[in-house]
């Protein structure tokens, strides 16, 4: 058999075994349930109305002013007229009303169960201040309507140097989701590679395999097979997430969503091969599962640092110079570049540079990791140090 056939045979074995594993099925279903729950919660929050205020007696005169102020502030506020104040108090106690406004229009009282909603408080305060101003202007002999129009017309003019993106918030959510999925996939399946290496060493299966195939064939086949398992899971989760978000009305940028999804898959492959080779080398240094965590912890910590630092910098300012530079330097590239692509702030030349540098880092990493794996995979007994593995 030629090299490609041998590697694919090993990869296909990993793919079949892991796709049928209960851990993959349960994990995928759990993540799908989490995505579905998040979309349902987001849709419910989007459809839920704001505070509901009841007006009773003379306070009913405030309705036009309250609705006008709420509309000007773009706040979702429902106003009802309550004929009987006692019925209104009962509705407040039952939770049907957030507040009942009683008393005179000039000095009303808000009846609440515990506290007045901040949105309702701000709107009612603005209405009462406006009425007080109009009253004082009338006493001073001025025209209240003319003063109100003059005040409303007094606003600052905006001279924007660049056009704002009204959908920037949605793009930021896409970027955050892409980063999180990549982070989870790289840690989960990178650790799976290390676990598979240790498992074969512990069961002595690796000795039988290496009697027929070369070490780097086994390494490449294992990484390829487990990587394809992660790719399948990402396709399932990403596809369900995109369709669900579109149906729920949470995604109004289908083209950007699809582009982010495709970019996510591409960067996952690059990032996985980069980190999986390191995880495989780390697994080859030990012969027991009890020692595995100590050798893969630095890699998990590195991924955590990349994710946390990258996410915080991206949220603060995705166009900052430090984000631009880090997004082109491995290992930050695999986490930051697809997120910047989702935000639409990554020029083509930066993406090309990031891909080239990642491929260079991948070539160096695979070569070093392959050497460590080849020299450590047959080692038994105590943990083999990295220096000793590289020295042999």
Same domain, yes or no, for 90 and 239? no
Q: Per-residue pLDDT for 166 more than 60?
A: no
Residue 36: HSE in the Cβ half-sphere, 13 Å Cα cutoff: 8
d(CA 296, CA 190): 9
State the first-to-last Cα distance of the chain, in angstroms, to the nearest integer.
30
Say whether pLDDT at 46 is over 80. no
Res 118: pLDDT: 82
Residue 136 is predicted with a pLDDT of: 75
Q: How many domains does the chain have?
A: 2
Torsion sign across C-alpha atoms 85, 89, 90, 92: positive
Domain co-membership, 31 together with 89: no
Tell me the H-state helices in the chain: 3-19, 22-47, 63-72, 85-94, 118-139, 144-153, 168-203, 205-209, 215-247, 254-284, 289-316, 321-326, 333-343, 348-376, 386-391
> What phi and psi values does residue 100 have, to the nearest 5 degrees?
-120, 120
pLDDT exceeds 70 at position 110? yes
180-231: pLDDT as tens digits: 889 999 999 999 999 988 888 887 777 777 778 888 888 888 899 999 999 9
Question: Could you tell me if 243 and 32 are in contact, meaning their C-beta atoms sit under 8 angstroms apart?
Answer: no
**Domain co-membership, 264 together with 380:** yes
334 and 197 together in one domain: yes
For residues 61 and 26, state if they share a domain: no
Most confident of 25-29, 74-78, 374-378: 25-29
Query: Are residue 184 and residue 82 in the same domain, yes or no?
Result: no
Res 333 pLDDT > 80: yes
The pLDDT confidence band at residue 247, using thresholds 50, 70 and 90, is confident
The reported pLDDT for the residue numbered 288 is 84
pTM score: 0.73
Pairwise CA distance, residues 288 & 198, whole Å: 7
| Tokens (6 digits) for 225 | 């097979």
Same domain? 129 vs 269 = no
Give the span between the Cα atoms of 362 and 356, in whole angstroms. 10
Residue 58: inside a domain, yes or no? yes
Confidence of residue 104 (pLDDT cuts 50, 70, 90): confident
CA gap 69, 127 in Å, rounded: 7
Burial class (CB in 10 A: 0-12, 13-18, 19+), 317: exposed
- Report the pLDDT value the prediction gives residue 39, as an integer from 0 to 100: 78
Q: Please give the torsion angle defined by the CA atoms of residues 102, 107, 112 and 118, in that order, rounded to the nearest 10 degrees.
A: 130
- 219 and 367 together in one domain: yes
Nearest CA-CA partner of 10 in 255, 205, 184 = 205
| Assigned domain for 287 exists | yes
Does residue 376 surpass a pLDDT of 70? yes
Q: What is the pLDDT of residue 322?
A: 92
- Give the 3-state secondary structure of residue 319: coil
> φ, ψ for residue 80 (rounded to 5)?
-120, 150
73 preceded by cis ω (within 30°)?
A: no
Q: Give me the CATH number covering residue 63.
A: 3.40.190.10
Is residue 161 in some structural domain? no
At 164, is the pLDDT very low, low, confident or very high (cuts 50, 70, 90)?
low
Tokens 């704001």, residue located: 50
- Residue 317 CA from chain centroid, whole number: 16
Separation CA 290–CA 71 (nearest Å): 63
Q: What integer pLDDT is reported at residue 163 of this predicted model?
A: 65
DSSP codes, 95-132: TS-SEEEEE-SSSEEEE-SS---HHHHHHHHHHHHHHH
* Same domain assignment for residues 19 and 63: no
Is 324 within the bounds of a domain? Answer: yes
Residues 110 and 186 in one domain: no
CA 82 to chain centre: 44
Q: What does the pLDDT read at residue 224?
A: 92
* Same domain as 60, residue 21: no
Distance (Å, rounded) from C-alpha 244 to C-alpha 236? Answer: 12
Mean per-residue pLDDT for 326-335? Answer: 91
Range of the domain at 140: 52-147
Residue 153 lies in a domain: no
> Does 235 have pLDDT greater than 80?
yes
- Residue 168, Cβ neighbours under 10 Å: how many? 13
Residue given tokens 């109100």 in the structure block: 148
Give the pLDDT band of residue 300 (cuts 50, 70, 90).
Answer: very high
Confidence (pLDDT) at 350: 93
Q: Are strands 99-103 and 108-111 parallel, antiparallel or unpaired?
A: antiparallel
Percent of the chain with pLDDT over 90: 21
Give pLDDT, residue 294. 87
Q: What are the phi and psi torsion angles at 320 (to 5°)?
A: -70, 155
**52 three-class SS:** strand
Residue 327 pLDDT level (bands cut at 50, 70, 90): very high
Lowest mean pLDDT among 151-160, 206-215, 335-344: 151-160
Last residue of a domain, one of 115, 147, 179: 147
Return the pLDDT at 199: 84
The pLDDT assigned to 161 comes to: 60
Check residue 172 and give its pLDDT: 80
pLDDT of residue 356: 94
Q: Could you say which of 117, 147, 177 is where a domain stops?
A: 147
Does residue 178 sit in the same domain as residue 68? no
In a domain, 160, yes or no: no
Average pLDDT, the chain: 84
The pair of structure tokens assigned to 377 is: 């995979």
* 11-21 pLDDT, tens digit each: 888 889 889 88
In a domain, 46, yes or no: no
Q: Which one has a higher pLDDT value, 165 or 62?
A: 62
Q: Please say which residue of 101, 118, 147 terminates a domain.
A: 147
């Amino acid at each position: 058999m030629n090299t490609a056939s041998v590697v694919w045979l090993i990869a296909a074995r990993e793919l079949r075994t892991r796709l049928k594993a209960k851990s993959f099925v349960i994990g995928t279903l759990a993540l799908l349930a989490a995505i579905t729950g998040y979309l349902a919660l987001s849709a419910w929050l989007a459809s839920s109305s704001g505070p509901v205020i009841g007006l009773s007696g003379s306070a009913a005169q405030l309705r036009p002013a309250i609705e006008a102020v709420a509309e000007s502030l773009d706040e979702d506020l429902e106003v009802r007229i309550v004929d009987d104040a006692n019925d209104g108090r009962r509705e407040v106690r039952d939770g049907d009303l957030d507040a009942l406004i009683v008393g005179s229009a000039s000095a009303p009282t808000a009846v609440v169960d515990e506290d007045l909603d901040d949105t309702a408080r701000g709107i009612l305060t603005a209405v009462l201040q406006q009425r007080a101003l109009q009253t004082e202007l009338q006493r001073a002999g001025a025209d209240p309507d003319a003063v109100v129009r003059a005040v409303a017309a007094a606003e600052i003019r905006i001279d924007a140097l660049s056009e704002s993106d009204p959908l920037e918030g949605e793009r930021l959510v896409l970027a955050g989701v892409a980063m999180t999925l990549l982070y989870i996939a790289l840690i989960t399946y990178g650790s799976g590679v290390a676990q598979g290496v240790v498992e074969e060493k512990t069961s002595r299966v690796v000795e039988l395999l290496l009697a027929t195939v070369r070490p780097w064939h086994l390494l490449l086949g294992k990484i390829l097979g487990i990587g394809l398992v992660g790719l399948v899971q990402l396709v399932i989760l990403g596809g369900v997430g995109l369709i669900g978000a579109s149906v729920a009305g949470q995604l109004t940028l289908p083209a950007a969503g699809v582009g982010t999804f495709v970019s996510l898959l591409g960067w996952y492959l690059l990032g996985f091969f980069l980190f999986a080779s390191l995880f495989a080398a780390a697994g080859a240094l030990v012969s027991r599962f009890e020692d595995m965590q100590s050798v893969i912890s630095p890699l998990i910590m590195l991924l955590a640092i990349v994710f946390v630092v990258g996410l915080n910098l991206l949220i603060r300012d995705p166009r900052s110079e430090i984000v631009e530079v880090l997004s082109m330097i491995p290992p930050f590239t695999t986490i930051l570049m697809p997120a910047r692509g989702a935000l639409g702030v990554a020029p083509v030349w930066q993406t090309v540079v990031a891909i080239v540098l990642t491929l260079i880092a991948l070539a160096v990493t695979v070569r070093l990791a392959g050497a460590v794996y080849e020299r450590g995979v047959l080692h038994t007994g105590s943990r083999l140090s990295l220096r000793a593995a590289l020295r042999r």
